[in-house]
Structure 1
Amino acid sequence: MERKIGVIGGSGVYEIAGLENAAWVTVDTPFGPPSDAVLTGTLGGVEMVFLPRHGRGHVHTPTSVPYRANIAAMKSLGVTDLIAVSAVGSLKEAYAPGDFLIVDQYIDRTFAREKSFFAPGLVGHVPFAHPTCARLSALCAGAARDLGLTVHEGGTYVAMEGPQFSTLAESRLYRSWGADVIGMTGMPEAKLAREAELCYACIAMITDYDCWHPEHDAVDVAQVVATAIANADKARALVAALPARIAGPAEDCAAGCTHALDSAIMTHPAKRDPALVAQLMPVMGRVLKGRE
């Protein structure tokens, strides 16, 4: 089995020159439809899948994004390496609008979202101390450096509920925690990717300084959009550079991503809800088959 790349991000990310056999495909999952149809194709001989996180035309709020369906769709399509491209605000002076940051930690401040595939009837706990895949993150950082992009390797992403931007007090609080960037979609996407045993990396595109900065005391949507559009070419080039680095046999991940469920499930087989087991089979079949 060869590696297959999945990309979740904005509309500009999947408009990549050279994508062969491109086709929009409708996918259904046990958790409902994903944010939109997915774009499948081949780039540099590597199969790729693109999904607009908010749907084409930006129809989903950060809270209404069907995160479980999105991850389940990627898993069902055979994705092995999942890359999130996300717009974020900077919480540090050194991380300027237009820069890129490869996330390696999260602080989850969301509260109105389904955060797990597990539920009563099938309980599990995956390890999450290191929430992104070190191998995949390093490949993303290397591609960015080779393209001459300003990229910061490693940083903490505060995931807020939204859709409103932060208050000044909140922005200052997150800075006091040592966080680096803030966004609205990083969670529970990363948690669900771990439960689905996918290698996951997040490329954060910095669009603004949030409201803590004395020269940016309010986050303006027009400014965010303008910076995101300006970064679109860079993001496309970065995504297009990934197949050459990621291509190869889909071997087990040394970071443990591909075996995150090995000792995660707590519910005794005799006590498992058959309907829930059936629902989770497309996501967790590796550890559920034969153990229902």
Structure 2
Amino acid sequence: MAIIGSQDVDASEWLDEAERVELPTGDKTVPATLGRLNGHELIVLPRNHSGRPLAPHAIDYRGNMEALVRAGVRKVLTTAMVASLRLAIPKDTMLLVDQFIEFTKDRQFTYFDDDNFGFADMTEPYCPVLREQLGRAAANVDIDIVPNACYVGVAGPRLETRAEIRMFALLGADIIGHTGTTDAVMAREAGLCFASVAGVITLGAGLIDQEMLVDNWHDSRRGHAARFRQIVTELTRTLEPDDDTRTGCRCAISAPIEK
């Protein structure tokens, strides 16, 4: 199992036997941390591993996913720091994403290249078995988590206008972010079981009278990362050593055959 997360998910003090590794891709390597958690091998891969801030469109999403595929990973979890589109979903809410709406642009958008591609079934883009397991794990450690949420992915790095927040809510989205939809598409096209735990770190523009300042979000980010680690720790405690989330799901089956 692997985690693609923000820098807030500190693997070095979380995992047993943690070590830095370089995961190969076709033409380079991707830095990650390899360790064990309750007897399960876990790879933690920072979404942005450049060592400097990167805009969302500049992240190497495909390289990250290829590195995990080559490492033999079958299950991928991500943590998403998001803004809420609804007053009914306040700051610090945690949610299991089950649908998305894609509004990103000018970035890698598929796991496939020009010559080898397929048509991925995205009816259910997040693994239902893995989502159910995460929900049970959260309940076991008394963490409230919303079981269903629609994530709208936008390009960033700018934040949204009041009109855009209203529009996305009318379209049926609940939360908004810059990276989650690209991860989800890459994972499905690669045939991996994929789930995302979102944490609300702010409310969208115009929902309340506030300044949209990144400096105000650090405590919420750290709190979400800490709760995410609790949930994953409990998940690994309850999984059997040979557990395979592909039993009962169609994540690998619905991945397209390369043409």
**TM category, shorter:** over 0.9
Q: What are the residue-to-residue correspondences of 1:169-248 with 2, within 5 Å?
A: 169-216=163-210, 218-248=211-241
CA–CA distance in structure 2, aligned partners of residues 205 and 162 of structure 1: 18
CA distance in 1, matches of 2:223, 2:242: 35
Matches within 5 A, 1:114-125: 114-125=108-119
- Deviation of 1:120 after TM superposition, in Å, equals 2.6
Return the alpha-carbon distance in structure 2 between the equivalents of residues 180 and 31 of structure 1. 38
Q: Does 1:51 align with 2:51?
A: no
Q: How does 1:105-116 map to 2 (within 5 A)?
A: 105-116=99-110
Cα distance in 2 between the residues matched to 1:96 and 1:117: 34
In structure 2, list runs of 5 or more residues that go unmatched.
Answer: none
What is the CA deviation profile of residues 5-61 of structure 1, one whole-angstrom value per residue up to 9, with x for unaligned ones?
A: 101112232336562221111122126444xx1100111110000011122755322
Paired letter, 1:177: L
Whether contact under 8 Å (1:12, 1:236) holds in the other structure is no
TM-score, with structure 2 as normaliser: 0.92
Residue in 2 that maps onto 1:271: none
Contact 1:14 1:236 in 2 (8 A): no
Pick from 65, 76, 80: which aligns with 2:74? 80
For 1:1-292, list aligned pairs within 5 A.
5-15=1-11, 17=13, 19-30=15-26, 32-34=28-30, 37-55=31-49, 57=51, 59-216=53-210, 218-251=211-244, 252-261=246-255, 264-265=256-257, 267=259
Distance (whole Å) between structure 2 residues aligned to residue 248 and residue 73 of structure 1: 23
| TM-align CA RMSD | 1.9
Separation in 1, partners of 2:257, 2:149 = 30
CA distance in 1, matches of 2:32, 2:132: 26
Is the 2:12–2:33 Cα contact (8 Å) retained in structure 1?
A: no
Q: % of aligned pairs identical?
A: 28
Count how many residue pairs are aligned between Structure 1 and Structure 2.
258
Runs of 4 or more above 4 Å deviation: none
Distance in 2 between the 1:230 and 1:243 partners?
Answer: 20
Partner SS, residue 154 of structure 1: strand
1:247/1:161 CA distance change after superposition, 3 Å: farther
How far the C-alpha of 1:213 sits from its partner, in A, is: 0.7
Shift in alpha-carbon separation, 1:18–1:156, aligned structure 2, 3 A: closer
Rounded to whole Å, the distance in 1 between the matches of 2:115 and 2:13 is: 46
- How far 1:247 sits from its partner (Å)? 3.5
The gaps in structure 1 that reach 5 residues or longer are 268-292
Greater strand fraction, Structure 1 or Structure 2: 2
Q: Is the 8 A contact 2:12 2:18 kept in 1?
A: no
Change (3 A) 1:253 1:66: farther
